[in-house]
């Protein structure tokens, strides 16, 4: 009798690997194995933190696709969540073009131009500091 094992089921968590040190945004998807399902609960084992067990409300997570697990302050998902990406910072030429477009002579307002110039100057200063 060669029975094939049932496919493993997991609850998923989007976790920032640098949550306590360094820049945020180093995302990983953690898998917490489901150990048991009842009509009311889904039991699982944490893949981090000493492999403790926990449970979530089955009706709520199946209805919403995710649930906030208050005891551990984690948001758990039925399917792997999408890894968030950080928006890319505009380049100096893009900022310069936005500053020119915001100029009052080109239809912008004084406030828009001042804000666009401040963004350009900040980026330019940061770039100079990084290359120095």
In order along its 132 residues, the chain shows pLDDT tens digits of 555 555 679 999 988 766 555 555 677 889 999 999 999 999 999 887 667 888 999 999 999 999 998 777 889 999 999 886 666 778 889 999 999 999 999 998 999 999 999 999 988 888 888 777
In a domain, 124, yes or no: yes
In a domain, 85, yes or no: no
Local structure of residue 19 (DSSP, 8 states):
T
Contact between 65 and 79 under an 8 Å Cβ cutoff? The reply is: yes
Contact between 73 and 61 under an 8 Å Cβ cutoff? The reply is: no
Region for residue 49 given its phi and psi (left: phi exceeds 0; alpha: psi -120 to 50; beta: otherwise): left
pLDDT at 6: 59
Q: Are residues 24 and 72 in the same domain?
A: yes
Q: Are residues 70 and 16 in the same domain?
A: yes
Q: Are residues 71 and 20 in the same domain?
A: yes
In a domain, 18, yes or no: yes
**What is the pTM for the complete model shown?**
0.56
Local structure of residue 132 (DSSP, 8 states):
-
Q: Say which residues have a Cβ less than 8 Å from residue 128's Cβ, sequence separation at least 6.
A: none
Structural domain count of the chain: 2
**Which among 69, 4, 5 is positioned nearest to 43, based on CA atoms?**
69
In a domain, 82, yes or no: no
Q: Are residues 62 and 97 in the same domain?
A: no
- 57 to each of 27, 67, 76, 94, how far by Cα in Å? 26, 8, 11, 48
CA Rg value for the chain: 24
The range of the structural domain enclosing residue 64 comes to 10-77
């Amino acid at each position: 009798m060669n029975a094939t094992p049932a496919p493993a089921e997991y609850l998923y968590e989007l976790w920032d690997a640098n949550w306590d040190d360094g820049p945020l945004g180093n995302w990983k998807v953690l898998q917490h194995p489901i150990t048991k399902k009842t009509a009311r609960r889904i039991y699982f084992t944490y893949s981090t933190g000493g492999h403790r067990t926990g449970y979530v409300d089955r009706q709520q997570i199946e209805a919403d696709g995710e649930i906030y697990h208050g005891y551990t302050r984690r948001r758990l998902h039925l399917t792997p969540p999408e890894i968030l990406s950080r928006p890319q910072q505009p380049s100096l030429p893009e900022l310069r073009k936005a500053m020119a477009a915001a100029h009052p002579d080109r239809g912008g307002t004084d406030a828009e131009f001042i804000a666009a110039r401040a963004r350009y100057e900040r980026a330019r200063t940061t770039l100079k500091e990084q290359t120095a």
